[in-house]
Amino acid sequence: MRRTCLLYQSDRPIPYLTAWQWQKQLVEERKQARRDGQDLSDVLLLVEHPAVYTLGQGSSLEFLKFSPDAPNIECHRIERGGEVTHHAIGQLVAYPILNLDYHQHDLHWYLRQLEEVIIQALAKFDVPSQRIQGLTGVWINQAGQNKKIAQVGIKVSQWITMHGFALNVNMDLSGFDRIVPCGITDCQVCNLNQFVHDVEIEQVKIAIAKTFAQIFDLELQFYAID
């Protein structure tokens, strides 16, 4: 019998700080349940955020092209790994809250599985994508140049996961001009709609959810975020 995963999604943008707090609450609930000898279902949040920048816990400020205290730019340092990245409407962000006791106690395996979810979901749109050795995320080769379409950054505490990945669908990519994406000086980014015209983010949500369930062998239960 497959393990249950609660899928929460919304048709409106969710503020970054709201989703961050949800994740922390979900993780703590699962830690407490384990201490009580209980088990709670895995969770997948699929959301969009208004424009925001996030820095990994060890990320260098040199990769910002603005002051982190700038009043007109939302920017947060968070507990995930990785460097600075950008979220905005038109980008699908996935936050899996998984108990790796029921999967594998292997962070490299987990990262590769998240990348595989993205790769297989893009394949459903007939878009080939790939990993690049030594780097985290998913890339598309366009006219001989690798461009990043998805960013991956996680935090795992007592084998409970949080944070996850972001897939560029039809967002305004100009926000990446304010940073050195993922700390890679020559990193170019791209959107799915450059390869699949008129693609809607709802279509991508379905593809990601189904692929996620297959990769992690989960049974999804769907819930809408009010």
Q: What DSSP element (H or E) covers 179?
A: none
Give bridge partners of residue 87 from the DSSP assignment. 52
Which burial class, exposed, middle or buried, applies to 88 when counting CB atoms under 10 A from its CB (0-12, 13-18, 19+)?
buried
| Catalytic pick among 5, 75, 182, 187 | 182
Q: Reply yes or no on whether 182 is catalytic.
A: yes
Q: Contact 121/129 with Cβ under 8 angstroms?
A: no
Q: How many CB atoms lie within 10 A of CB 93?
A: 20
The token duo for 208 is 């990601």
Closest to 148 measured CA to CA, from 111, 181, 174, 185: 181
Closest to 87 measured CA to CA, from 175, 180, 154, 12: 175
Task: Cite the active site residues.
Answer: 182
